[in-house]
Structure 1
Amino acid sequence: MVAEAEFVCHPTVSFQCLPLPLPSIQPDFFDMSQPDTAAPPILFDLSRRESALSCSTSLQTSKPSDASTRKFAPRIRSGSHTDIGPRSTNEDEHIRIDDLSTHLGSFYSWSEPSSFYAVFDGHGGPDAATFMKNNTMKIFFEDAELPRTSDVEEAFVQAMEICHLRSYLQADQALTDELSVDSYCGTTALTVLVLGRNLLVANAGDCRAVLCRKGGAIQLSQDHRPSCELEKKRVEDLGGSVEYGYLNGELAVTRALGDWYMKLPAGSASPLTAEPEFQLTKLTEDDEFLIIACDGIWDVLSNEEAVSLVQRELRYHNDPEQCAKELTSQALMRDTGDNVTAIVVCFSSSECQDTVSCQRPRLRFCMSEEARAKLREFIQGN
């Protein structure tokens, strides 16, 4: 008698495996309400704009080959998780949209597939972060003067960068006009826009985006803290000070939305600014996934540790949602003192997405009854 059994083959097995097709994982989306009132306009001087990533001396950069960039068209799926941690309230918020065309409907007019992600880490209460979650899509897309073109080229991406800069400052102004948000309340913000193979990161604060490329960790944003020498110099040049590691002895970040009690009137240069820094990356087949997380994660996990953890989890279950949950769990196990929020965005080639959906192939073997009995005895220790 011959019995048929199915085994799971680990990568260390030294013979060739034929993977059986598994159902593909469909992305899910955040359901966000849209307010009816439009955010007020804001006037500002773009000539004051600082150079992108002015504090980027610690960032790792890697320029992909033009050939691999042109051929790559990512198919995206993502997962996220947040936890209150040791705090009494959760002041983190996040947005996760894998398909902007479906979410924006008639507002979407680009030929390339696109996605949008954001993490907001509030302070002084949750109201500023909550406001940003509820109003970001309206301010950044519906009310914004977005560039309209049939092709996502370099000039288009640069126009989107300028548009995002305006949106950050518009959101900052909207927070001071919002009666439900106290002037002592603020939030950091990190947004990620994927347009075809273009990955645009904008950051104001100490949330962080880390890209896994060929197994290595590449930091795509700079933490805006008083400990950053270039940020400290910018603050001091504008009349601010760094005392005991805090901006003016009060705030642990040098860029944030809200906190209007610390800012000069709109349009004026201020030590605390909502102006983001940008990083544009061309995605290639070497890019595996992106981690977007608040400082509650990065305070206790290095970039390399986070990337290794997600790689291991993807090999085990290939589920970005579980990867994000494991990141927050690891941060809590390491006694982080903050709320924890993480988003994991997986990239894969359009050509291979339908054929590769799991890193652990399944094998089908035929076993004789005698071999089956011996295996049972071995497992049971008889």
Structure 2
Amino acid sequence: MSADVINKAFLATEEEFLSVVRKQWQIKPQLASVGSCCLTGIICSGVLYVANAGDSRAVLARTDEATKEIKAIQLSSEHNASFESVREELRSMHPDDPQIVVMKHQVWRVKGLIQISRSIGDAYLKKAEFNKPPLLPKFRLSEPFKKPILKAEPAVTVQKLEPGDQFLIFASDGLWEHMNNQEAVNIVQSCPRNGVARRLIKTALCEAAKKREMRYSDLQKIEKGVRRHFHDDITVIVLFLDSQLIARDTWSSPMVSVRGGGYSGSGLIGLGLVDG
């Protein structure tokens, strides 16, 4: 296991999806405008690898040795044009394009179309062959481009887990719009493990309802297609850590038990989150 292996896996996934877009181009051209953020975590022999392409986020809960309080540690950075560092990266990659990032409707967007700078898919901003008819005009750029505007390569962080590491939260940006890292960690710490991911989702939805001056029960009644105007889709994974298990080189028992919740033999644990 290595950062290079994970990077190759992301790129292989990207190529497979682009091949689907290419095969379906004439009958389903809108596949070229479909994309997803991708956040992946892998634990191998006590080492945690986090790979991110897009604006999902991974947070680690760690016990502070001095205060014994559980602190939130952000493990990934978002590839979103709202961050100055991302805009600077895009400008350095496209020095001859003054319109590589544009403020539109009070939001920074790549080419005025999309907020994220890395993703799986979004072929219309990676391959010029897909940025033309029969793709819908709203996705087509007026000027042709010679190199990909978006990237599929993830940013990978690697660190050894410590005995005080308690759990990991993997979540799409729909969660982080309504709570910060420490708030999410506090909720997980204070609630029973069973259903805690759903608790995070409900807390975020209650906050979304509050911002719109409505009740959570009223928000639930809104049709899914219309709900996107009130809040983004939310996906959450919480992984509790066992320091004795993750330090082993091999396991004979099942590696991980997963119970999913979303709105809308080698000593290795893997989990991933896509948000498209």
Same fold? TM cut 0.5: yes
Counterpart among 8, 26, 31 of residue 166 in structure 1: 8
For residues 52-63 of structure 1, the aligned pairs below 5 Å read none
Aligned counterparts, 1:214-233, within 5 A? 214=63, 215-233=70-88
- After superposition, the C-alpha distances for 1:173-204 in whole angstroms (9 at most, x for unaligned) are 21111137700100000000111211100000
Which amino acid counterpart does residue 235 of structure 2 have in structure 1? T
Q: SS at the partner of 2:175?
A: helix
Q: Deviations over 1:228-253 (max 9, x none)?
A: 22221121223251112111100011
Q: Is the 8 A contact 2:82 2:115 kept in 1?
A: no
Partner SS for 1:254: coil
Quick check: 1:197–1:283 contact (8 Å CA) kept in 2? yes
Residue deviations 1:70-102 (CA, integer Å, cap 9, x gap): xxxxxxxxxxxxxxxxxxxxxxxxxxxxxxxxx
How far apart are residue 269 of structure 1 and its match?
5.0
Check the 8 A contact 1:238/1:270 in 2, yes or no. no
SS in structure 1 of the partner of residue 40 of structure 2: strand
Q: Does 1:191 align with 2:40?
A: yes
Counterpart of 2:32 in 1: which secondary structure?
coil
Residue aligning to 1:246: 109
For 1:257-286, what per-residue CA distance to the aligned partner results, in whole angstroms no more than 9, with x for missing partners?
Answer: 1111111469x8533101100111211111
Question: Gapped runs of 5+ residues in structure 1?
Answer: 1-156, 352-382
Q: Which amino acid in structure 1 is aligned with residue 72 of structure 2?
A: A
Displacement over 6 Å in runs of 4+:
none
Structure 1 match to 2:202: 329
Alignment partner, residue 205 of structure 1: 54
Q: Aligned ranges for residues 264-275 of structure 1 at < 5 Å?
A: 264=127, 270-275=148-153
Stretches of structure 2 that go unaligned for 5 or more consecutive residues are: 64-69, 130-145, 209-229, 246-276
- Look up the equivalent residue of 2:236 and give its one-letter code: A
Mapped contact 1:186–1:257 kept (Cα < 8 A): yes
Q: Distance in 2 between matches of 1:237 and 1:341?
A: 32
Distance 1:350 1:280 in 2: 19
- Shift of residue 210 of structure 1? 0.1
1:1-382 equivalent positions in 2, closer than 5 A? 157=1, 160-178=2-20, 179=24, 182-214=31-63, 215-239=70-94, 241-244=100-103, 245-264=108-127, 270-313=148-191, 317=192, 319=193, 321-335=194-208, 337-350=231-244
Residue in 1 aligned with 2:265? none
SS in 2 for 1:211: strand
- State the AA in 2 paired with 1:188: C
Q: Deviations over 1:129-165 (max 9, x none)?
A: xxxxxxxxxxxxxxxxxxxxxxxxxxxx4xx211111
1 or 2 for the larger relative contact order (CA 8 Å, sep ≥6)?
1
Q: In the alignment, which residue of structure 2 is the partner of 1:128?
A: none
Instruction: Quote the offset at 1:350 in angstroms.
Output: 2.9
Determine which structure has more spread, i.e. the larger CA radius of gyration: 1
Q: Give the Cα separation in 1 of the matches to 2:48 and 2:147.
A: 29
Partner secondary structure for residue 242 of structure 2 = strand
Paired residues in the alignment total 187
What secondary structure sits across from 1:291 in the alignment? strand
Separation in 2, partners of 1:243, 1:187: 21
Contact 2:81 2:87 in 1 (8 A): yes
